Structure 1
Amino acid sequence: MAEFHGETPSTQSKISLALPRSHCPHCQQTIRVRDNIPLLSWLMLKGRCRDCQAKISKRYPLVELLTALAFLLASLVWPESGWGLAVMILSAWLIAASIIDLDNQWLPDVFTQGVLWTGLIAAWAQQSPLTLQDAVTGVLVGFITFYSLRWIAGIVLRKEALGMGDVLLFAALGGWVGPLSLPNVALIASCCGLIYAVITKRGSTTLPFGPCLSLGGIATLYLQALF
């Protein structure tokens, strides 16, 4: 059985979303404004740093493209809507959190809290399909459910089988989909996790579950809107 982890076992590192500025991962040179245009700059520089000419990973333009597509989809499903803007922000939080979790098997609090508060603020501002009461209930139900699962799995397996970051992310998503749709999030996330484990042959090793929860949450939101 795969272990689902969402954070480092010790303390959370301090993460700033603004500092330091974007820089080359090889020479550490700060990227110029003209070289920091999503997608276009990477293409114009042919995937290399202007200063040291080192190759820049294709991950950067792919993440930028994924974010752009997520924004476009939200604008099409919820045109001229405050909720559409909220879903765009949610998409950005989840994409960033998923990339970090895939790399480090760690979900930083700044992202799970971002998902939480963006959803609650949208409900408070009456831009969400949920009332503020339903959103808060979704958060509480999500936390209690996954924390209980984490506790039970820890007793049965005698090791941590679900990271606290995953618990917090599932709870935060409850503020977006509501308590009644949380089973859908868990089901879709579990299916994604199973597929990932089979494809990567990681059935007996640690599995980053944050991206699976992110897909489950986003998929549930769009299913709610379309059906």
Structure 2
Amino acid sequence: MVIDWSQPVFGVAVFLLGACIGSFLNVAIYRLPRGLSVNEPKRSFCPYCKKQIPMWRNIPLVTWLVQRGKCAECDAPIAARYFIVELLTALVWLGCWFVFPDPAQAVFFMLLSAILITISAVDIELMLIPRQLTITGTLLGLGMAALCPEFLGEVVWWKGLLKSFYGFAFGWVGLWLVVLLGKLAFGKRSFEFDEPTEWMLREPETDEEELCFVIGGEPIGWSDIFYRKSDRLLIEGVVYVHVDGERRDAEVIEIKDNIVHIDGDEFPIGSLKSLDGKARKAIVPREAMGMGDVDLLGMLGACFGPASLLFTIFAASVVSIIWAVFNRLGFGRLMPFGPSIIAGAVLWVFWGQDLWLWYLQTVGVY
């Protein structure tokens, strides 16, 4: 007996399962970047009052609508992201089930889409990509290449696995070189003022925020400043500095590896209650992009092979430019590069080879 997987009953089941998976993804989106376990506590909890949510009040899609986007215990607003992720996951899983007739490919894309949705949500919210997710996606791609080598155009399992590994290596190393060259070309941002200007380290007020360096009223997140131990923040032309409220005189202040250096004295960031002062200049390290983007492109290379990488990064750049134009016109907000890379990979899956061939013919290369 041959099972007709296109029957509506299977579609309904996949949609409902996708909504439940989307509910779990919301847990991962909140907990993973904050170093929390996705298993403990087992039940979801309100990010404001921290009270656990009972099963009967944690029904995907329905609960958020019934409670009008608010916690039933403390009446605090629950972000629309929770409903959007559940609905998006349900719709994407339904689409994967019917677009890809091979059940193995359908399941692969369903699992991969769950990882990509989680990565996009975390990157948009916190500007970072948890490495646990990209490692999981890379293993998924390698496993798919070994079990179904024809997915990457091969017939032998080890050739499929090798092509997947090449995709990971080329994607990771290629974008890592871009990050390295970007660091050399654009690795510093200088703030200079005619008059002494106030600066401070601002402590996070909620779990959603991070420690910030603020100068001239502009906050810069700690993760945007420090990526590696060699990064250092310099504050020059110092008029004075307050260390835990105590005034000190200094000429230069250096912050490196979470240690504040002031005239030979060292102060661990974690032990300070406050740090502020006035200065005329600050030199802040910065990156062309984060290492999370490098891991992400390596993961996508493992999933779709090395042939997909050039198109993916080209399409991602186009998507970022288009989004930047909308942002300059007052629509939307600044967006990290990760979601653009994912959009480029989606374009590759559905239209990549045809679009790439059309582009090469248009510019006269092919």
Pairwise TM-score range, normalised by the shorter structure: 0.7 to 0.9
Distance verdict in 2 for CA 1:165–1:186, change over 3 Å: same
Distance verdict in 2 for CA 1:161–1:225, change over 3 Å: closer
> Which of residues 152, 156, 163 in structure 1 aligns to 2:185?
156
| Pair 1:40 & 2:168 matched | no
Q: Which runs of 4+ in 1 moved over 6 A?
A: none
Q: What is the CA–CA distance in structure 1 between the aligned matches of 2:78 and 2:354, rounded to whole Å?
A: 38
1:114 corresponding residue in structure 2: 136
Distance verdict in 2 for CA 1:225–1:64, change over 3 Å: farther
Q: What is the CA–CA distance in structure 2 between the aligned matches of 1:122 and 1:199, rounded to whole Å?
A: 37
Q: TM-score, normalization: structure 2?
A: 0.54
Q: What is the CA–CA distance in structure 2 between the aligned matches of 1:19 and 1:226, rounded to whole Å?
A: 46
2:145 corresponding residue in structure 1: 123
| Pair 1:195 & 2:216 matched | no
Distance verdict in 2 for CA 1:47–1:128, change over 3 Å: farther
Q: What is the CA–CA distance in structure 2 between the aligned matches of 1:135 and 1:198, rounded to whole Å?
A: 35
| Pair 1:50 & 2:72 matched | yes
1:171 corresponding residue in structure 2: 298
State the Cα deviation string for residues 115-163 of structure 1 (Å, max 9, x = none): 1111111112227602111111110110121111111222222342021
SS in 2 for 1:129: helix
Q: What is the CA–CA distance in structure 2 between the aligned matches of 1:109 and 1:147, rounded to whole Å?
A: 15
Q: Is the 2:316–2:344 Cα contact (8 Å) retained in structure 1?
A: yes
SS in 1 for 2:151: coil
Segments of 5+ residues of structure 2 without an aligned counterpart are 1-32, 153-159, 188-285, 356-366
Amino acid aligned to 1:220: W
| Pair 1:212 & 2:340 matched | yes
Q: Is the 1:82–1:127 Cα contact (8 Å) retained in structure 2?
A: no
> Which of residues 34, 45, 48 in structure 2 aligns to 1:26?
48
Shift of 1:23: 1.0
Q: Is the 1:120–1:136 Cα contact (8 Å) retained in structure 2?
A: yes
Q: Is the 1:38–1:64 Cα contact (8 Å) retained in structure 2?
A: yes
Task: Give the structure with the higher percent strand.
Answer: 2
Q: Is the 1:169–1:210 Cα contact (8 Å) retained in structure 2?
A: yes
2:107 corresponding residue in structure 1: 85
Shift of 1:44: 2.5
Distance verdict in 2 for CA 1:23–1:86, change over 3 Å: same
- Larger relative contact order (CA 8 Å, sep ≥ 6): 1
Task: Give the structure with the higher percent helix.
Answer: 1
Q: Is the 1:48–1:56 Cα contact (8 Å) retained in structure 2?
A: yes
Aligned residues: 214
State the Cα deviation string for residues 86-114 of structure 1 (Å, max 9, x = none): 11111111111111111111111111112
Q: Is the 1:83–1:128 Cα contact (8 Å) retained in structure 2?
A: no
Computing the radius of gyration from Cα coordinates, the structure with the larger value is 2
Distance verdict in 2 for CA 1:31–1:226, change over 3 Å: farther
State the Cα deviation string for residues 55-114 of structure 1 (Å, max 9, x = none): 322111111111111111111111351121111111111111111111111111111112
Q: What is the CA–CA distance in structure 1 between the aligned matches of 2:150 and 2:293, rounded to whole Å?
A: 23
Distance verdict in 2 for CA 1:123–1:16, change over 3 Å: farther
Q: TM-score, normalization: structure 1?
A: 0.85
2:273 corresponding residue in structure 1: none
SS in 1 for 2:70: coil
Q: What is the CA–CA distance in structure 2 between the aligned matches of 1:79 and 1:15, rounded to whole Å?
A: 37
Measured on the aligned residues, the alpha-carbon RMSD in Å equals 2.4
Q: What is the CA–CA distance in structure 2 between the aligned matches of 1:222 and 1:22, rounded to whole Å?
A: 35
> Which of residues 103, 106, 109 in structure 1 aligns to 2:125?
103
Q: What is the CA–CA distance in structure 2 between the aligned matches of 1:169 and 1:214, rounded to whole Å?
A: 8
1:146 corresponding residue in structure 2: 175
